[in-house]
Structure 1
Amino acid sequence: MSELKVGIDRVGFYTPRLYLEMTDLALARGEDPAKYHVGIGQDKQAVIPPTQDVVTMAANAATQILRPEDRSRIKMVLFGTESGVDNSKATAVYLAHLLNLAADTRAIELKQACYGATAGLQLAADYVRAHPDALVLVIGADIARYGLRTPGEVTQGGGAVAMLVSADPQIMALDAQSAYHTADVMDFWRPLDRTEALVDGRYSTNVYLDFFKQTWTAYQQQTGRTIADFAALAFHLPFTKMGRKGLRQVLPEASAAHQQELTAAFEASQLDNRNVGNLYTGSLYLSLLSLWRHGDLRAGDRIGCFSYGSGAEGEFYSGVLQPDYQRGFDDAALTTLLADRRAVSVAEYEELFQQQLPNNGQDVQLAVGADSAPYYLAGRQHQQRQYRHRMEA
């Protein structure tokens, strides 16, 4: 009997239709644009209007990949985020309701900085291995906020990646082995009284690189595989230069020709992240999607994935591309989504940044007319967020 394949069957992605040019931000902050484009590796940054939060963005991503017959087969929704909207109720519960999923669906929110979606993916894979007829919806959705005129401002962004995990997946079958590492590290955190994160940028970069080397080494020891077994390595990309530094750590292990192939694959994997910014929990999975969309890949290629969440937890795992992997996502729709966004001025970006729902609990009615997304946040009444589906408005 052949081993059951389990992995990522379909992927959807959503980011709002507004962005900020990094050249404009650099000039407004008195910086050389090359510092942002080359030194950080970012070209555009998603701007999140107050009518979108992680729940609505997740719904807008998930609705791209769900078919009517899927809803009865989805047995779990695992929502990785560090931008939750409630300290008790899971974002996954709101999402399951918006998507009209069955009542016998587990709906759980997972939090460990940018690692949450990877925890969800691994839990989903284990569940499907035990229940091959089931589907699990895994979400990585976040809004990266560091504050205006802060060192981390250039690494903001936001969006959502939705993944359907199944047996006999279309896109990528996950290998059962992975290596992970956890340590209590204060490189990045967000206290309960803050909406913006605190970060020690240089220290966080060093921890990221150290965790990558530790998990990469442990993975090789577990599996006996070497860098020669990989067609590509995909990284968590809070900014694209971070992943480039990680790749450079291990490139000397590859032949000269293979180094060129791995470098070309990395360039493909960071294209979409350069133009969206930091997705926190969704960052690795936008990187993977970008690799699948833009890379020179073929069925049977093994892809290595490094996930990192500050605080800190890292994991290296791998998967094998399937023959119909390009049918698992809508490349044309994703290209259109990114191309049709509207650039905002620095002044408009700053205004939108300040327009998040206030923490005073007062009723708020948001101006929703400019938001064309299927799912949106209409405001707050009696301390409850008011989510809407445009088809039902």
Structure 2
Amino acid sequence: MTVVGIDKIGFYTPGMYVDMAELASARGEDPNKYLIGIGQSKQAVIPPTQDVVTMAANAAEQILTPALKAEIGMVLFGTESGIDNSKAAAVYLAHLLDLPQNTRAIELKQACYGATAGLQLAADYVRVHPQGKVLVIGADIARYGLRTAGEVTQGGGAIAMLVTADPTILALDDVSSYHTADVMDFWRPTYRTEALVDGKYSTNVYLNFFKTVWADYQQQTQRSIKDFAAFAFHLPFTKMGRKGLRQILPEATPEQQTTLTAAFEASQEDNRNVGNLYTGSLYLSLLSLLRHGQLIGNERIGFFSYGSGAEGEFFSGVLQPNFRDGFVEERLAQQLADRQRVSVAEYEQIYAAQLSNDGRDVQLAVGAEQATYYLAGRQHEQRQYRKQ
């Protein structure tokens, strides 16, 4: 059977962040409530010149050569921050990246689960078409509003993954477990730009879904916790994944508990300094684990994907010996290190300056834009995308 999985990973987040200790102080909260209680240190600030399409393009450009672009047969774009109720963000992206016109381009939506749906559909496609290459995107901007309970779990960015046969990073196992229920823990009606969330309820649903799919996965595969070197979680905030891991740690030996806990700390490092990516969150956890962890080839990683509303999936994969060749560590580290810290007042101004929903023509200030792909404005109700 063809070995299929993640060959390359790229990541992009804009070049600004707000310090969570400063935000806590501005909101009259103890900084430790954000730093420890939620588990976040920094939060990405998204300028009006970046949306899910441009962030996806900036992430994908890191991993796609002209030769690879010519070989892509499908783009699967997971997002809950779509820019059009009809036209897929994947179509805009395929055009920006100059992909072949005989490319299938689809947008997928189920809260934070969308990129996992894309990954699994891509893997199935490549198993049938071993020469095929699929670009899978998870890109979002998490918005709950200023001075709301969810403000501390905002953020944004994009993950781009190339799914192929004989992958460089991760070979996906064939079996996964998934669970769906109609749950109102988080939703965003079409008339709202910010999400609605029942935070405590959502956390409980997340934890219950994890227990459900983990138990079903074990029953299907006869694997146990001893078969895993690490677990990666969807992390709307890092404390949530830690709670999930703690549910199953008693199944491990004391020595393995130490190993799994250290792996989790590595997996949450980048999320802690970026914030919530919605569909991209789980895969930033993976990338952070690969960058900061102590894993070696041929070790198995477990993944818990969760999308409010609600859908959960547990799946697994085996790390490949040369996994570090699938991403550019120096570029990723430099991208995060070069970000500019903005004040709370500046963050609030940028938050309020997002492209309006009234359809009027807008020309955005793009003079200081550093990203390769950016949004220049809107004319005749059409977004104007540009490449540097």
Q: How far, CA to CA, are the matches of 1:129 and 1:223 in structure 2? A: 20
| 1:83 shift after superposition | 0.1
Query: Does 2:300 match 1:321?
Result: no
Residues 123-162 of structure 1 aligned to structure 2 (within 5 Å): 123-162=121-160
1:72 Cα offset (Å): 2.0
Task: Give CA-to-partner distance per residue, 1:306-338, whole Å, 9 cap, x none.
Answer: 000000000000000001100000011000000
Matches of 1:69 and 1:54 in 2, distance apart?
A: 24
Distance 1:376 1:57 in 2: 8
After the TM superposition, which residues 46-61 of structure 1 pair with which residues of structure 2 at under 5 Å, given as runs?
46-61=44-59
Equivalent residue, structure 1, for 2:379: 381
What are the residue-to-residue correspondences of 1:105-184 with 2, within 5 Å? 105-184=103-182
**What is the alpha-carbon distance in structure 2 between the residues aligned to residue 71 and residue 178 of structure 1?**
29
Instruction: Note the residue ranges of structure 1 that are not aligned, 5 or more in a row.
Output: none
Give the aligned partner of residue 220 of structure 2.
222
State yes or no: 1:90 paired with 2:112: no
Structure 1 residue 359 and structure 2 residue 326: aligned? Answer: no
Q: Which residue of 1 aligns with 2:280?
A: 282
C-alpha displacement of 1:68: 1.2
- 1:257 alignment counterpart: 255
Give the structure 1 partner of residue 300 of structure 2: 302
Instruction: Say which SS state the counterpart of residue 21 (structure 2) adopts.
Output: helix
- What corresponds to 1:76 in structure 2? 74
Question: What residue in structure 2 maps to residue 41 of structure 1?
Answer: 39
1:24 and 2:22 aligned? yes
User: SS at 1:161's partner residue?
Assistant: strand
Distance across 1 between alignment mates of 2:268 and 2:230: 12
Partners of 1:360 and 1:100 lie apart in 2 by 30
Alpha-carbon shift at residue 73 of structure 1 (Å): 1.3
What is the CA–CA distance in structure 1 between the aligned matches of 2:18 and 2:254, rounded to whole Å?
38
Q: What is the aligned length?
A: 388
Distance 2:70 2:21 in 1: 47
Distance in 2 (alpha carbons) for counterparts of 1:5 and 1:341: 38
Deviations, residues 271-306 of structure 1 (Å, cap 9, x unaligned): 000000000000000000000001010110000000
User: Which letter maps to 2:299?
Assistant: D
1:330-386 Cα distance to aligned partner (Å, 9 max, x none): 011000000000000000000000111111110000000121100000000000000
Aligned equivalents of 1:307, 1:122: Cα separation in 2? 12
- Counterpart amino acid of 1:130? V
Equivalent residue of 1:154, what SS? helix
Distance 2:4 2:292 in 1: 24
1:270 deviates by 0.2
Q: Matched residues in 2 for 1:10 and 1:42: separation?
A: 27
Q: CA deviation at 1:67?
A: 1.1
Question: 2:197 matched to which residue of 1?
Answer: 199
Note the C-alpha offset of 1:17: 0.2
User: What are the Cα deviations for residues 14-35 of structure 1, in whole angstroms up to 9, with x where unaligned?
Assistant: 0000000001100000000000
Which amino acid counterpart does residue 64 of structure 1 have in structure 2?
Q
**What is the percent sequence identity of the aligned residues?**
75
Instruction: Please list the CA deviations of residues 210-231 of structure 1 after superposition, one character each: whole Å capped at 9, or x if unmatched.
Output: 0000000000000000000000
- Is 1:270–2:268 an aligned residue pair? yes
Q: Which amino acid aligns with 1:201?
A: G
Matched, 1:350 2:348: yes
The amino acid that maps onto 1:134 is G
Q: Distance in 2 between matches of 1:4 and 1:97?
A: 30
Q: TM-score scaled to structure 1, two decimals?
A: 0.98
CA distance in 1, matches of 2:100, 2:331: 28
Q: For structure 2, which runs of at least 5 residues remain unmatched after alignment? A: none
The structural deviation recorded for 1:172 is 0.2
Q: Distance in 2 between matches of 1:103 and 1:275?
A: 37
Instruction: Name the structure 2 match of 1:187.
Output: 185
Runs of 4+ in 1 over 2 A off after TM superposition: none
Alpha-carbon distance between aligned partners in 2 of 1:254 and 1:369, rounded to the nearest angstrom: 54
Offset from partner CA, 1:74-100 (integer Å, 9 cap, x none): 110000000000000000000000000
What is residue 330 of structure 1 aligned with on the other side? Answer: 328
Deviations 1:3-61 (A, max 9, x none): 32100000000000000000110000000000000000000000000000000000000
- Secondary structure of 1:71's partner? helix
Q: Specify the code of the residue in structure 2 equivalent to 1:291.
A: L
Give me the whole-angstrom Cα distance separating, in 1, the residues matched to 2:123 and 2:358: 40
Equivalent-residue separation in structure 2 for 1:369 and 1:131 (angstroms): 44
What is the Cα-based RMSD across aligned positions, in Å?
Answer: 0.4
* C-alpha separation in 2, matches of 1:252 and 1:107: 43
